[in-house]
Amino acid sequence: MTRFDKITGLPKRRGVASLLYRALFIVAVFILQAFVLPFVTALPSVPLILPLAAVETAMFEGGFRGAAAGLFAGALCDVAMDRPIARFAVLLTLICLVVGVLSELVVARGFAPYFLICTGTLVVCAVAQMFTLLFFDGVAPRVLFAEALIQTAVSLPFAVPIYLALARTPGRER
């Protein structure tokens, strides 16, 4: 890697196939989150799975591409939740930028760190969802935190199939 490659997080010989595969995968996860999971009545809460795909991309593609994936997944997440495109787009961009840079410098790239980072990301996303309800609508914090815990617990099992589906990405660093 050249010095420029280390700064931007762009691998030296990573092709368009990896980016195209990940973008199509994020679109497929969006379709699952927006059009399938809200209608599954067996779950106590609607899972939030787009951040999981964005975090996986950030861990294995680096900070720059991770931030781009976070922006894309965040915008789709805002659309899936029927909100203005801002909250999750900005939040996931920042989270994926930090995760991508940390994965290049400090964090090992494997399933256990990915799962822990997914847990933290889901907790941060749950807090971001309840911000308006907590501060402006006056909903009791106990109710919101219980719902955030349920949503995180329902969303975390989806980290495994997302990780395994993206494990076969062309050009993925191991």
- CATH architecture for the domain at 3-166: Orthogonal Bundle (1.10)
| Structure-model confidence comparison of residues 76 and 12, the more confident one | 76
Could you tell me which residues come within 8 angstroms of residue 21 by beta carbon, excluding any fewer than 6 positions away?
A: 169, 170
What does the pLDDT look like over 15-60, one tens digit per residue?
A: 677 778 888 999 999 999 999 999 988 888 889 999 999 999 899 8
**pTM of the prediction?**
0.83
What does the pLDDT look like over 66-87, one tens digit per residue?
A: 999 999 999 999 898 877 778 8
Cα–Cα distance measured from residue 52 to residue 121, given in angstroms and rounded to the nearest whole number: 8
The pLDDT assigned to 14 comes to 58
Could you tell me which residues come within 8 angstroms of residue 128 by beta carbon, excluding any fewer than 6 positions away?
A: 87, 88, 91
What does the pLDDT look like over 106-155, one tens digit per residue?
A: 888 888 999 999 999 999 999 888 887 877 777 888 888 898 899 999 99
The pLDDT assigned to 70 comes to 93
The pLDDT assigned to 13 comes to 47
What is the overall mean pLDDT for the chain? Answer: 84
Q: What percent of the chain has pLDDT over 90?
A: 44
Residues 47/53/54/55 CA torsion (nearest 10 deg): 90
